[in-house]
């Protein structure tokens, strides 16, 4: 997807979020957004199902309630991103930077195994570490072994 088309979609999405009839929800499902610069983008409730976001810059992006089902977020920079209530089921988060990401209420149930296998995600860097650990039901032993990696 080229930058002009992406900007048009994001502008229309912004109008949609503001309740304008001229706007339309961002439909980026399956889009090629490899290494896209989406810093600070307002992608609240956007459709990103199956999008290829490998290496994308999503620092401080607002992805609250976004559909990221099966999205490829490997090596994406999600530092400080708002992922509250986002659907991350079966999303690829390998080597993603989730430092200070807000994942409260994010749907990641079926992704636990993958998250557990990555082991490079520093769970303690999440803003709401305790709630996330409780939400994804990582055992005490796993929590300790993950924490020990960063000491």
> Could you tell me which residues come within 8 angstroms of residue 138 by beta carbon, excluding any fewer than 6 positions away?
112, 116, 123, 146
Helix (H, G, I), strand (E, B) or coil at 71: coil
* Residues 50-70 pLDDT 10s: 999 999 999 999 999 999 999
d(CA 93, CA 86) in angstroms, rounded, equals: 13
d(CA 44, CA 63) in angstroms, rounded, equals: 5
Instruction: Decide if pLDDT at 140 tops 70.
Output: no
> Could you tell me which residues come within 8 angstroms of residue 75 by beta carbon, excluding any fewer than 6 positions away?
54, 55, 94, 95, 96
CA 115 centroid distance within chain: 13
* Residues 75-120 pLDDT 10s: 999 989 999 889 988 888 888 888 888 888 888 754 443 443 333 3
Q: Where are the domains of the chain?
A: 27-151
Helix (H, G, I), strand (E, B) or coil at 2: coil
Mean pLDDT of the chain: 79
User: The pTM is what?
Assistant: 0.76
- CATH number of the structural domain 27-151: 2.160.20.80
């Amino acid at each position: 997807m080229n930058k002009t088309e992406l900007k048009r979609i994001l502008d229309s999405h912004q109008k949609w979020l503001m309740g304008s009839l001229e706007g339309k929800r961002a439909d980026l499902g399956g889009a090629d957004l490899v290494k896209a610069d989406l810093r600070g983008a307002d992608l609240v409730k956007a459709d990103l199902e199956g999008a290829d976001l490998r290496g994308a810059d999503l620092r401080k992006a607002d992805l609250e309630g976004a559909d990221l089902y099966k999205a490829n977020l490997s090596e994406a920079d999600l530092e400080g991103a708002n992922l509250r209530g986002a659907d991350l089921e079966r999303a690829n988060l390998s080597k993603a930077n989730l430092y200070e990401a807000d994942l409260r209420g994010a749907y990641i149930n079926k992704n636990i195994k993958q998250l557990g296998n990555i082991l490079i995600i520093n769970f303690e860097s999440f803003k709401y570490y305790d709630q996330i650990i409780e939400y994804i039901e990582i055992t005490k032993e796993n929590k300790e072994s993950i924490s020990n990696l960063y000491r």
